[in-house]
Amino acid sequence: MTISKRSLMKAGLAAAWLPLFTRQGFAGDWTTIEAEARGQTVYFNAWAGSETINAYIAWVGQQVKARYAITLEHVKVSDTTEVVRRVRDEVKVGTAKGSADLVWINGENFRAMKADRLLFGPFASDLPNFKYVDVEGKPTTLFDFAESTEGLESPWGMAQLTFFGDGTKISDPPKSMEGLVAFAAANAGRVSYPAPPDFHGTTFVKQALLETIDDQGLLQMSAIKDIFVGESGPMFALLDRLHPHLWREGKQFPQSQAQVKQMLADGELLMALTFNPNEPANLVASGELPATTIAWQHADGTIGNTHFVAIPINSQAAAAAQVVANFLLSPEAQGRKADLKTWGDPTVLAMDKLSGDEAKFFSGGDVAGSVADPAPAIPEPHGSWVPLIEAAWLERYGA
């Protein structure tokens, strides 16, 4: 197909109008949105593998019902890619009545939805509570896997790769990938990680890539296959050395982080990994792991990111979805979420932006299972590296 200059110009003119149209639905002030939201039902598509998270979302449902007369339905999702697929299929056949109103999302799924224009917005920076967000101290609240959010998703919580195990069995936890190889060699069959494309498994491999690559800066740019092939050599060399010492000699892998965690609790594995630094403490508090549990991060830092909520473009309740997103950013909801007794998901807010009363929602303090020496968070590689990493991993270790 040839593209004439004229049609390009037409497209450009149309594109110039686009922001006006897309912003129309929420250009009005916040009280209008709140009024419109009353009585709407929000189908919140959120990963539901954890009881504490489900309980927290149920609490949010009670709150938005009482405060804004919004009904929140938690659509329990085991893999967010299902939601992306569904929305894309709905939009493709022109279903105006979308099945999802709010999606818990980040990374590759966000990139796919953004690229395919499946998202409503920009709306995030217009949320009244967005002013509390720590955009300076936590730059990943604006850059999701090096992809600019452009206000199409609202930050919800923070994550950083963290490892944990029983302190009575691990005296000297490995603080680097190299250290992990030695640790696995000394404890054959007692270490593993979930197989990519499981999110945690991919993150583990990315951490290995970050620790072995010469120039970490390369990973912040869009991936190029030749560069990946050239630069991933040391990473695969490391994994090749690690795998023979893993559970089932690295020929089989657990399917999910939850399974790794369960295997730690059962005593099959010595350590597990998580993206929530507070999860180990949370598991101690809920009685699933013993009080002797310790958590650690690699000394030079581990991958960290932000997770978000986004609104699909065909949402039937975009107003209510924004009200819910705003409530999720409130100091009260963020404080409760960060509380180890409920969920323990780190906040996206800046403590110094909160008033004294607002800060009271956060009750800090060291408890059993919290990370001993927090290490810096390294921003996620650009999302375009993920398919390359996953394909290469599968090719090498999948069969």
Partner 1 sequence: MMQSLRRLCGVLPLGVFWLLPFAVGVVAVGLAGFDGMAWVALFLHPQFWPALALSIVTGSLSLVISTLLAFWIVAGLHGSTRLADFMGSFLSLPHLAFAIGFGFLIMPSGVFARIIGLLAGWSETPQWVTTQDPYGISLTAALVLKEVPFIVWLIAALLARTDIGEMLAKQFRVGQSLGHGGASIWLRIFIPQILPRLKWPLIVVWVYGASVVDMALAIGPTQPPTLAVIIWSDLNNVDQAINARGSVGALFLTAALGVIATLFQFVTSVSSIATRRFLVAGPSLSRAPRKPAFALLALFAAIYALVLGVLLIMSVGSQWPYPNLMPAQIRWAAWSQLVDSPAPLLTSLTFICCCVATALSLSVIWFETFTDRLDRYLLGLAVAALAIPSLLIADGQYLAFLQLGLNGTWFGVFLSTLTPVFAYVFIVMRGPYRAFDPRYRSVSLGLNASAFRFWAAVKLPLMKPVLAAAAAVGVGVSIAQYVPVQLVASGRLATLTTEAVTLSSGGNRPLLAVFSLMLAFVPLAAFLIAARLGK
Q: Which residues bind partner 1 (CB under 8 A)?
A: 43, 45, 48-51, 58, 75-79, 81-86, 88-90, 92-93, 95, 97, 99-100, 108-109, 112, 189, 195, 247-248, 251-263, 265-268, 287-288, 394-395, 397-399
Q: Which is nearer to partner 1, 148 or 255 (CB)?
A: 255
CB distance 27 to 36 below 8 Å: no
Q: How far is the CB of 78 from partner 1 (least distance, A)?
A: 4
DSSP 3-state of 305: strand
Report CA-CA distances (Å) from 266 to 52, 254, 259, 263, 354: 20, 14, 10, 5, 42
Which structure tokens are listed for 63?
A: 């709150």
| 216 versus 259: smaller Cβ distance to partner 1 | 259
Burial of 345-377, coded b for 16+ CB within 10 Å and e otherwise, reads bbbbbbeebbeeebbebbeeeebbbbbeeebeb
Rounded Cα distance, 278 and 3, in Å: 53
- List the structure tokens of 65: 């019902």
User: Under 8 Å CB-to-CB from 361, ≥6 apart: which residues?
Assistant: 331, 332, 334, 335, 336
Which C-beta is closer to partner 1: that of 108 or that of 339? 108
The answer for 365, left when phi > 0, alpha when psi is -120 to 50, beta otherwise, is left
Q: Judged by CB, which is closer to partner 1: 32, or 78?
A: 78
383 by Cβ neighbours in 10 Å (0-12 / 13-18 / 19+) ranks as buried
Nearer CB in complex with partner 1: 108/147: 108
Minimum CB distance to partner 1 smaller for 211 or for 390: 390
- Residue closer to partner 1 by CB (options 114, 298) is 114
Task: Work out how close the CB of 133 gets to partner 1 at its nearest, in angstroms, rounded to a whole number.
Answer: 27
Shortest distance, CB of residue 394 to partner 1, whole angstroms? 6
Residue 256 or 334: the one with the smaller Cβ distance to partner 1 is 256
Question: Measuring CA to CA, which residue among 119, 396, 367, 130 is closest to residue 250?
Answer: 396
Q: What residue type is assigned to position 378 of the chain?
A: I
User: Phi then psi for 166, rounded to 5 degrees?
Assistant: -85, 120
CB of 144 to partner 1, least distance (A): 15
Distance CA(100)–CA(56), nearest Å, equals: 19
With CA atoms as reference, report the closest residue to 298 among 219, 394, 374, 184: 374
| Least distance CB 220 / partner 1 (angstroms) | 22
CA-CA-CA-CA torsion sign (164, 168, 172, 174): negative
Select 50 or 216, whichever has its Cβ closest to partner 1: 50
Shortest approach of partner 1 to residue 182 CB, angstroms? 20
